[in-house]
Amino acid sequence: MKPPAPVLRQRLRRIETKPKPVHVVQFQDFAGIGKLPDLRAELDNIIESIERGDGVSESHYRAGIDQDEDSLLADQGIMHLHLGGKDSDMLVFLIQYADRVVMLETNTHLHFRTQPAGKNILALTQAWLRTLEKDLTAAAAQVAAAATEAERKAAEEFRDKRAASIAAFKAKAGLD
C-alpha cells in the first residue's frame, strides 16, 4: 500500500460551498477587530457561513479576484477575506483544506508588501500549524487503511460465500 499524499492546502479563489468545520483555536486578532462589533459580527457570519456550507459573500473577496493572481494564495495556500467591504484594509487570513478551514489571523495588507508575500504571517512558523497538517495527513492515512481493510474484508466475505455456494451445489449434485 502506498502512503497517502500529504494534506494539501487548497488554492481556490473562493471558499467552497460545502460544510467545513472552522478551526479558530490558534487564531490571532492583530487588527483588533474584537473591539469593533460590526467587523466582529462579519467574521462570525463568515465562520457560520463556511460551517453551513454556504460559501462566503462576494463582498468579502478582493476586487479583481477573477482577473489577476493572489501571490499569497498561489505560493503559500493562504487566502484572505476583506472585512468591511472589498476595499477595506481589514483582512482575515485563512487556509482552506478539503475538509476544514483554519483561521490564522486578522491583519492588514502588510503581508503583501513582504518578499515573498506572507513571510511574516506568524502562523507559518508555529508548531501548531505543522502539527495540524501532520495530524490531517495521519488521519487521511487511517481513512485509506480503513478503506483498504474494509475492501479486503469484503473480498474475503465474497470469496467465502462463493466457496460455500459451490460446496452446497456440489453436495446437492452429489459431486463430493
- Tens digit of pLDDT at every position of the chain (176 positions): 555 556 788 999 999 999 999 998 788 899 999 999 999 999 999 999 999 999 999 999 998 888 988 888 988 889 999 999 888 999 999 999 999 999 999 999 888 877 777 777 766 656 667 777 787 777 777 777 777 777 777 767 766 776 566 666 656 666 66
pTM of the model as a whole: 0.71
Instruction: Find out whether 122 and 28 touch, Cβ atoms under 8 Å.
Output: yes
Q: Domains in the chain: how many in total? A: 1
Instruction: Find out whether 75 and 83 touch, Cβ atoms under 8 Å.
Output: no
CA dihedral 33, 34, 38, 43 (to 10 degrees): 80
Its domain, for residue 171, covers 1-176
Half-sphere exposure of 42 (CA within 13 A, CB side): 21
* Three cell numbers written together for 37: 462589533
Instruction: Find out whether 81 and 94 touch, Cβ atoms under 8 Å.
Output: yes
Q: CB under 8 Å to 166, separation ≥6 — which residues? A: none
Q: CB under 8 Å to 134, separation ≥6 — which residues? A: none
Q: How far is CA 139 from CA 5, 16, 26, in A?
A: 11, 21, 20
